Chain A
Amino acid sequence: MNEQDVLEVSAGLGEADVVRDRRLAAAKVFADVAWPDSRVDEFWRSTPFKRIPVGGPVVNGSEAQAPEVSLAAAVDAPLAVATIVDGALLHVDLPAELAERGVVVASLSDPAHAELVAQRITTLTSAATEEHQGDRDRTVVLNDAAWTAGVLVHVPADVELEHPVLVRVHVTEPGTHLPRVLVDLAHHARATVVIEHTSTDPGDQRVLVDEVVEVFTGDSASCQLVSLQDWTGGVDHLALHKGRVGRDARFDPVELTFGGRTVRLRPEADLVAQGGETYPAGVYAADEGQWFDMQPYVRHIAPRATSDVLFKGSLQGRSRTVFRGNVLVTEDAVGTVTDENNRTLILTDGARADATPFLEIFCSDITAGHGSATGQIDARALFYLEARGIPREQAIRLIVTGFFHDVLDRIKVPMVDNRVMSKVEAQVSNVDLSRLGLTDATIDEDDLL
């Protein structure tokens, strides 16, 4: 990828010069940095970079269409839907009622919105700003420079959206896909944006989806960003889902991961003004051969902000999951309240879950908690259910859905509820009962005395 490629992509999309210039700035960074090295780069130590098929051709459109059924079917109302297939933004549907209220759902390359886009894009990633040095992860910088399909969602001040905005990302071709989303909420606006990732099985060919989403919440605005990873087998997915949280505003990234080969997600929130809130949440279910790496990062930059990270996953077969969370509390962030937790349930022998819920604290006047627990199904809970005549498979289903209950309760997006439950159920019905791992914490008789 060089400057020439970037100019071609930009010209092909008919972009304004100001937006093209942001790409060129990123292309310069791209030339200066190397691909991550898992032996050196602390944030890449958890996933071997060699699993990521970088360097494939950038996919920029194909003949394929998105599947007919999407999450939109779950809502009985006209929805704003943007559809990206194989690196091209195919169409955007915006109900007239939303357009009248000033809501924008459009191509990120549309010259009509160039001023807003140029002001915002890459300021949370590779561009150095007053707030940060700029992200130097080359996988992010690649998207900054060469994204081929972008969606802009803008909600004007005081407008609250009743239904989610749906962005569909569908993949059929091998190569590198570079989708991008920019969400901008003016003050007191409220919206949920759902990104639905689907694919048709690429077989043995390598597919990499390298995605960046930037979310800007104005003062007292509230944005929930839900990303559903419903990939078929061979897709590798890297994503940065990052929000900048204004005064008394709220940004909740939600990661729902069920498909894909290697999936490494970075839901991040910068709490840059007083009273900001973020509640990153995740649900994942990994099966044979899958490797999920969850890297939530919360930066408490301003005083009296609140954050609570909760990720829960279940594993079976030879799968691996990594939780590598981080909460940074800067020296100015007095009155911070934060908590960070990861829970994983290992259903069958051979799976492995790693957890490192980091805290980096430079301020003493705060409340902070962090924790992780990894375990198997409690033999006594299973015995209790089976003793009451509930068959083993159904008992496991009760235990697993119960395990996910609190995090699902927090998400509360009716559009994705059914899909998530069916994915959890699918994993449970796949459990190899002969390899079920149980924690047998039988009470020692001595303890009873």
Chain B
Amino acid sequence: MSTRVAALSELSDRTPKRVEVDGEPVVLVRLDDEVRALHDTCSHQEWSLAEGMCFGREIECDLHGATFSLDDGSALSLPAIKPVPTYRVTVEGDDVLVDATTPTNGAPVPDHF
């Protein structure tokens, strides 16, 4: 079940934006004409990833500098060692829809925030 969470035109390229989808905090990142969605909680110390910055196809947590792949959510650098959940995104015209029911990478969903 996909929910409309944002308009493509309001997302700046590689600038994270936090949205809520069915109670789950999700960070959206626009990569040119595509959009990626990750659970907005760092797997290290639960900080909001939307507070951080994006480099290439990675997002960096603002608190301790852990980086995650925007493609599969995997942890790419310490201090994080576990992946964050990724979600399926569909772009229909200017509408960005996210399905936050099941992570596409099978990562465990944080039980907080």
Residues of chain A touching chain B, judged by Cβ–Cβ distance below 8 Å, are 38-39, 45, 48, 50-51, 318, 320, 354
Determine if B67 is an interface residue (Cβ-Cβ < 8 Å): no
- Bound Cα distance A105, B113 (Å): 42
Asked if A48 and B48 sit within 8 Å, CB to CB, the answer is no
The 7 nearest A-B residue pairs measured at CB: A48-B112, A48-B113, A39-B48, A38-B113, A45-B46, A318-B111, A50-B113
Most chain B CB atoms below 10 A, which of A39, A50, A318? A39
**Chain B contacts for A45, CB-based, 8 A:** 46-47
Most chain A CB atoms below 10 A, which of B47, B48, B112? B112
B36 CB to nearest A CB, Å:
21
**Chain A contacts for B112, CB-based, 8 A:** 48, 51
**Contact mask B77-113 → A, CB, 8 Å, 1/0?**
0000000000000000000000000000000000111
Q: Could you tell me the dominant secondary structure of chain B's interface residues?
A: loop
B46 CB to nearest A CB, Å:
7
**Contact mask B27-61 → A, CB, 8 Å, 1/0?**
00000000000000000011110000000000000
**Chain A contacts for B45, CB-based, 8 A:** 354
Q: Could you tell me the dominant secondary structure of chain A's interface residues?
A: loop
Residues of chain B touching chain A, judged by Cβ–Cβ distance below 8 Å, are 45-48, 111-113
- Between-chain CB contacts (< 8 Å), 12 pairs: A38-B113, A39-B48, A39-B113, A45-B46, A45-B47, A48-B112, A48-B113, A50-B113, A51-B112, A318-B111, A320-B111, A354-B45
A54 CB to nearest B CB, Å:
17
- Bound Cα distance A48, B111 (Å): 10
- Bound Cα distance A39, B47 (Å): 7
**Chain A contacts for B46, CB-based, 8 A:** 45
Q: Which residue of A lies closest to B112 (CB)?
A: A48
A315 CB to nearest B CB, Å:
14
- Bound Cα distance A318, B47 (Å): 21
Most chain A CB atoms below 10 A, which of B45, B47, B113? B113
- Bound Cα distance A311, B45 (Å): 21
Q: Which residue of A lies closest to B113 (CB)?
A: A48
A353 CB to nearest B CB, Å:
13
Q: Which residue of A lies closest to B48 (CB)?
A: A39
Q: Which residue of A lies closest to B18 (CB)?
A: A39
Q: Which residue of A lies closest to B63 (CB)?
A: A45
**Chain B contacts for A48, CB-based, 8 A:** 112-113
A242 CB to nearest B CB, Å:
27
A323 CB to nearest B CB, Å:
14
B81 CB to nearest A CB, Å:
14
Question: What would 9 more interface pairs be, CB under 8 Å, given A38-B113, A39-B113, A50-B113?
Answer: A39-B48, A45-B46, A45-B47, A48-B112, A48-B113, A51-B112, A318-B111, A320-B111, A354-B45
